[in-house]
A and B are shown apart, each in its own frame.
Chain A
Amino acid sequence: MPDSSTTFTSTPATDDLGQLESGLDNLETGSRQRPSIKSSILKLLSPLIAIVAVIAIWQFIIYLQWQPEWIIPSPKAVLDSLGAQAEQDILWQATFGSIKRAAQGFVIALLVAVPIGLALGLNKYLRAIFGPLLTGLQQLPSVAWVPAAIIWFGLSDATIYTVILLGAVPSIANGLISGMDQIPTLYLRAGQVLGATGWKKIRHIVLPAAWPGFLAGLEQGWAFAWRSLMAAELIAVSPALGLGLGQMLDIGRQLGDMALVLGSIIMIMAVGVLVDRLIFSPLRQRTLRNRGLAR
């Protein structure tokens, strides 16, 4: 007759059953494959091929002398222009100014979007009422808000952050909602059996289970925040706003300096790629690997 307490004293795995099971376990789980150093380096360097190819084609067009230098400047002219901006400290001020603004805007967008996403993901009535509005906002290019924001807030930081928020919040919130929609019922049932209710259910079951979809929303939200910021900086130019890549681009336009225009565009793209490579791509890889979804 077993006693009624459910406390347990551990049995060392030296018994017969333990040996059998650990033998079978070893047979059934193969050794883990780690990616080799060679393949990691290859993966890191392969985007360079595209960059080299683009520069080669570009240089070839210059070599043909098809258009004058002030319409299509050479790669070297663009590099020199960026170098000149760097010497005056403008390049780094502009780049870090923009990154800082985008990052701050993104964090605020996150704080606004998560409660909205949770509320709409958990409550089907709120979802029915506000879902279409959110999707409408997501479809609308947030540049469209720049004129309105300037009228409301003038040429101030508030204008810039408004545009970033309107760009990023709908994507992040919708990402969280679709992540929640994709949670397999099994996890919710298991959570229920484990006694996860209320905030604990959200914290320990819903949010982690929704993470892959939410991460996709974060990536899109970042892309929208960055784009919106560039659009806002390009349109709302004022000494009061400080320097950003958008403003640098606008200075190039005003001076008719095509090398600076192209240089600014390259910097805007480079920041986008770097943020993906350094933040989102590792997060994505880690998520897929941890959940056994990596191929």
Chain B
Amino acid sequence: MSLTGGARIAPGTALLESEGLAVKISHVTKRFNPNGPDVLQDISLSVRPGEFVSLVGASGCGKSTLLNLLAGLEKPTSGEILTDGSPTLMFQEPALMPWLTAGKNVELALLLRGVPRKERKEKAQRLLSMVHLDRSYNQRPHELSGGMRQRVAIARAIAQERKVLLMDEPFAALDAITRDLIHEELSRIWKETGLTVIFVTHNVREAVRLGQRVALMSSRPGRIIQEWNVDIPEPRRLDSPPVAELARVITDELREEIRRHA
């Protein structure tokens, strides 16, 4: 079944189902240049359906490359990636189409998924109210704040009805107050939809606040060096003492890792 080079991406296979997983990354290595350094080295990660996994690491750990591999935008050099259906991906930028209103942006996802015209508007409206943007259907992206745009992007991602949602530092550009609220929003939506989420960030507290599991990646080459289960009950806050405590433990490890590059 494997393609040349041993690299394979196979969405939605029975194999995953039999193992009870939504995403399985096995021994994935990625080089952009055949003779160049490994950007990702021997990454293995299994994610259960409905699980929320945060990936943290310093610059150069290849977090974004890993997400691009998962999203199928790039191919691994070696190793295997299995996902339950093709995942959707949210970028750091909302990446809304500026020629469409907020509502039409959500409708575009529905249209491309093949939802009949008659149902689109109502569905889009419902998805917008899910992210508390009931009144923004007719607003254009440039009329919305950064946080509102990213919420439209969430609504658009949900509209795709994929099982796996990949998020590439989606809140990095938001101010602290907005980010705090959008964290709550995302936690709630994740619970209500049962999505499997892989959330990449370089903000350790954010990783702990949102994730059920946090994986720490090393830089150059990018490898997963340690994982933590986050057994902190909801509602969590960025400044909840247990969140801060675990974040400190992870940050210490992260610093240790960065020091290696001094």
Instruction: Spell out A's residues near B (CB within 8 Å).
Output: 1-13, 17-18, 20-22, 24-25, 28-29, 32, 186-187, 189-190, 192-196, 200, 204-205, 208-209, 211, 290-292
Q: How many chain-B residues does the 8 Å CB contact rule pick out?
A: 56
Given contacts A6-B195, A204-B108, contact A189 B160 (CB under 8 A): no
Residue of B nearest to A21 (CB): B132
Given contacts A6-B163, A11-B130, contact A193 B158 (CB under 8 A): no
CB atoms of B145 and A25 under 8 A apart = yes
Bound state CA distance, A17 and B161, in angstroms?
Answer: 24
CB atoms of B97 and A292 under 8 A apart = no
Jot down 8 A-B pairs with beta carbons below 8 A, ordered by A.
Answer: A2-B194, A4-B50, A10-B129, A12-B129, A20-B181, A21-B181, A25-B132, A195-B160
Chain B residues within an 8 Å CB radius of A32: 143
The listed residue (B132, B160, B188, B194) touching A4 by CB distance below 8 A is B194
Count of chain A to chain B residue pairs whose CB atoms are closer than 8 Å in the complex: 126
Given contacts A2-B194, A6-B193, contact A193 B132 (CB under 8 A): no
State the Cβ distance, B9 to closest chain A Cβ, in Å: 14
The listed residue (A13, A194, A195, A196) touching B132 by CB distance below 8 A is A13
Given contacts A21-B181, A25-B148, contact A13 B112 (CB under 8 A): no
State the Cβ distance, B191 to closest chain A Cβ, in Å: 5
Given contacts A6-B163, A24-B181, contact A187 B95 (CB under 8 A): yes
CB atoms of B194 and A291 under 8 A apart = no
Instruction: Spell out B's residues near A (CB within 8 Å).
Output: 49-50, 71, 73, 86, 88-89, 91, 93, 95-100, 108-109, 111-113, 126-127, 129-130, 132-134, 136, 140-148, 151, 156, 158, 160-163, 177-178, 181, 184-185, 188, 190-195
Residue of A nearest to B131 (CB): A21
Interface pairs A-B: 10 shortest CB-CB: A292-B142, A28-B145, A2-B194, A190-B95, A291-B98, A18-B132, A21-B132, A208-B99, A193-B89, A2-B50
State the Cβ distance, A110 to closest chain B Cβ, in Å: 20
Given contacts A4-B49, A17-B132, contact A28 B147 (CB under 8 A): yes
CB atoms of B112 and A200 under 8 A apart = yes
Chain B residues within an 8 Å CB radius of A195: 86, 112-113, 160
Bound state CA distance, A7 and B256, in angstroms?
Answer: 43
Residue of B nearest to A3 (CB): B194
Bound state CA distance, A13 and B112, in angstroms?
Answer: 28
State the Cβ distance, B176 to closest chain A Cβ, in Å: 12
* A-B contacts besides A11-B129, A193-B88, A291-B142, 10 pairs, CB < 8 Å: A2-B191, A10-B129, A11-B192, A24-B181, A186-B93, A189-B91, A189-B95, A194-B156, A209-B97, A291-B99
The listed residue (B50, B130, B146, B160) touching A194 by CB distance below 8 A is B160
State the Cβ distance, B80 to closest chain A Cβ, in Å: 22
Chain A residues within an 8 Å CB radius of B158: 6, 8
Residue of B nearest to A201 (CB): B112
Chain A residues within an 8 Å CB radius of B96: 190
Bound state CA distance, A292 and B96, in angstroms?
Answer: 13
Bound state CA distance, A189 and B94, in angstroms?
Answer: 12
Chain A residues within an 8 Å CB radius of B71: 193
Chain A residues within an 8 Å CB radius of B98: 290-292
CB atoms of A10 and B193 under 8 A apart = no
State the Cβ distance, A101 to closest chain B Cβ, in Å: 32
CB atoms of A8 and B141 under 8 A apart = no
Chain A residues within an 8 Å CB radius of B97: 187, 190, 205, 208-209
CB atoms of A8 and B130 under 8 A apart = yes
CB atoms of B95 and A29 under 8 A apart = no
Chain A residues within an 8 Å CB radius of B113: 195
Bound state CA distance, A204 and B109, in angstroms?
Answer: 10
CB atoms of B141 and A292 under 8 A apart = yes
CB atoms of B95 and A22 under 8 A apart = no
Residue of A nearest to B159 (CB): A194
State the Cβ distance, A211 to closest chain B Cβ, in Å: 7
Bound state CA distance, A195 and B87, in angstroms?
Answer: 10
Chain A residues within an 8 Å CB radius of B130: 8, 10-11
Residue of A nearest to B163 (CB): A6
Bound state CA distance, A190 and B89, in angstroms?
Answer: 8
Bound state CA distance, A198 and B109, in angstroms?
Answer: 16
Given contacts A20-B181, A189-B73, A204-B111, contact A29 B148 (CB under 8 A): yes
Given contacts A2-B50, A186-B91, A189-B95, contact A8 B181 (CB under 8 A): no
Bound state CA distance, A17 and B109, in angstroms?
Answer: 26
Chain B residues within an 8 Å CB radius of A17: 132, 181, 184-185, 188
State the Cβ distance, B161 to closest chain A Cβ, in Å: 5
